[in-house]
């Protein structure tokens, strides 16, 4: 007999799945969220759901799907309810928990429901914006905020805030707390500056600009939880069998969770869901949290993903079970990246955080696909690792050989062998893989026109427009990258 699908109908039959709190499905909307990805559903939405269950926040989330790919069918079929499997080790104890998340009220496609999304701006109780549109999402573009919808996320946000300003009379009380979670240093101020520039370019009234600046809080934030893509079929079937239902929106995550938000007492008064879990930190300065996570966890992921993948491995866990790649991951994190973090950090705290990250990488329950880490590979390399590399050379002229090896693997991974319908594909052991990076066309041209991989390395490393600096000027670094090219070219071929 087939298992039933997770939905409100099933919850009516089995109210214990929602801890007998079916009234949570009727809570008012208080948040609009740009992004449907697993990270948002596994961290911010997790905190909101937990707070609702404790009777603290008592609000739901309107989710905006901004990308053209895929649809909202699964969300509509399950009416936005999904299960969240949390597995790992916490304080020495094994955790295996399943949560039913009912925090999302609606999922609206920006392409099809833009008028409905703008209408949400009229709701005075909807005071919070959350976003995750990847590192390339927060960029100033030549956008039309009066389009249906605007093309970029900042364009959509500007249009939404302008609609709210007009609908609610520009009152101070109608301002919003806007919390981007994209992994960009200073993501709050950067998003704020783009919205202000969009207002200027569209000749919007000065009173709107004043309202943006004085009544809205653009808060930098940092999210830290490993929420990989959908597990493999066997793991899914095991979870469904244990839960007693199927779920097309299922997500899995580790136990560890952190959402650090830069804000004051006014921000805290709005983000009351923070009271439900110590994993939400609201402080005036979150630089330390950001730098440790960005440089050690994310930076190591980025430098190791291509190398491990080209060596025939598929997940972070497999990489930590392989003697050679585990040694690479451990040594590059603790011996090259940690001492070069471009922020004053206590070495004891750095070592403590780094060893905690290594334990998280070894989580036996999580299958974090390496190929997923390579999405927007170039932007991640630039944001996460190049500042660390430059700071390394400010401290010493010693060549970071492991960094060079990881960078060489990145260059090899970014070698397209064919493209189809605008998508680019590389090849590993005769099998194609997707290169999901906005710089794929750039690398396609470089690999085709370079006389050799060594010439390609020089051309890419010297591209100051790409990296913000000419990396061939760093003593010995280009030579070290090229020394590793021959080895990684053979990998995956």
Q: Are 175 and 219 in contact (CB under 8 A)?
A: no
Given a cut of 70, whether residue 286 has pLDDT beyond it is yes
Given a cut of 90, whether residue 245 has pLDDT beyond it is yes
Measured CA distances, 268 to 23, 47, 216 (Å): 25, 14, 14
Measured CA distances, 165 to 98, 127, 151, 174, 208 (Å): 40, 12, 21, 7, 7
99-112 average pLDDT score: 96
Find, among 24, 148, 149, the residue nearest to 81 by Cα.
24
What is the model's pTM?
0.80
Q: Are 99 and 87 in contact (CB under 8 A)?
A: no
128-155 average pLDDT score: 92
For residue 185, give both structure tokens: 């240093």
pLDDT, one tens digit per residue, over 201-219 is: 999 999 999 999 999 999 9
pLDDT, one tens digit per residue, over 478-492 is: 999 999 998 888 765
pLDDT band at 367 (very low <50, low <70, confident <90, very high): confident
Give the burial class of 429: count Cβ atoms within 10 A of its Cβ; 0-12 exposed, 13-18 middle, 19 or more buried. exposed
Q: Are 18 and 102 in contact (CB under 8 A)?
A: yes
Given a cut of 90, whether residue 185 has pLDDT beyond it is no
pLDDT band at 68 (very low <50, low <70, confident <90, very high): low
């Amino acid at each position: 007999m087939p298992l039933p699908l997770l939905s409100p109908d099933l919850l009516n039959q089995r109210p214990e799945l929602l801890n007998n709190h079916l009234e949570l499905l009727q809570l008012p909307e208080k948040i609009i969220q740009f992004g449907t990805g697993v990270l948002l559903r596994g961290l911010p939405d997790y905190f909101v759901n937990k707070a609702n269950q404790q009777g603290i926040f008592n609000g739901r989330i309107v989710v905006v799907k901004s990308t053209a790919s895929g649809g909202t069918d699964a969300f509509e079929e399950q009416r936005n309810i999904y299960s969240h499997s949390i597995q790992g080790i916490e304080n020495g104890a094994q955790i295996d928990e399943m949560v039913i998340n009912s925090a999302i009220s609606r999922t609206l496609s920006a392409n099809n429901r833009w008028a409905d999304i703008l209408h949400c701006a009229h709701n005075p109780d909807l005071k919070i914006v959350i976003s995750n549109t990847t590192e390339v999402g927060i960029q100033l573009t030549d956008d039309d905020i009066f389009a249906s919808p605007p093309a970029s996320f900042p364009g959509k946000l500007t249009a939404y805030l302008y609609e709210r300003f007009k609908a609610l009379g520009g009152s101070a009380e109608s301002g919003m707390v806007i919390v981007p979670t994209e992994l960009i240093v200073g993501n709050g101020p950067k998003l704020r500056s783009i919205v202000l520039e969009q207002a200027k370019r569209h000749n919007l009234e000065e009173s709107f600009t004043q309202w943006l600046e004085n009544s809205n809080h653009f808060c930098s934030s940092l999210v830290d939880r490993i929420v990989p893509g959908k597990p493999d079929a066997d793991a899914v079937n095991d979870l469904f069998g244990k839960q007693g239902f199927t779920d097309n929106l299922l997500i899995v995550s580790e136990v560890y969770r952190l959402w650090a938000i830069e804000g004051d007492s006014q921000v805290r008064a709005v983000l009351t869901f923070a009271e439900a879990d110590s994993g939400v930190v609201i402080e005036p300065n979150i630089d330390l949290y950001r730098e440790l996570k960005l440089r050690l966890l994310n930076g190591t992921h980025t430098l190791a993903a291509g190398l491990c993948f080209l060596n025939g491995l598929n997940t972070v866990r497999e990489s930590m079970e392989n003697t050679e790649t585990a040694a690479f991951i451990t040594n590059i994190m603790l011996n090259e990246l940690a001492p070069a973090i471009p922020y004053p950090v206590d070495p004891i705290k750095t070592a403590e955080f780094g060893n905690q990250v290594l334990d998280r990488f070894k989580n036996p329950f999580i299958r974090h696909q390496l190929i997923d880490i390579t999405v927007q590979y170039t932007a991640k390399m630039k944001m996460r690792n190049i500042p660390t590399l430059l700071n390394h050379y400010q401290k010493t002229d010693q060549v970071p050989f492991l960094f060079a090896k990881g960078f060489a693997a990145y260059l090899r991974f970014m070698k397209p062998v064919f493209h189809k319908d605008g998508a680019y594909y590389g090849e590993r052991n005769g099998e194609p893989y997707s290169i999901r990076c906005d710089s794929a066309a750039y690398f396609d041209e470089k690999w085709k026109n370079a006389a050799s991989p060594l010439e390609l390395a020089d051309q890419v490393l010297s591209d100051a427009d790409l990296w913000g600096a000419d990396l061939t000027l760093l003593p010995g670094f280009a030579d070290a990258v090229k020394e590793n090219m021959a080895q990684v070219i053979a990998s995956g071929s």
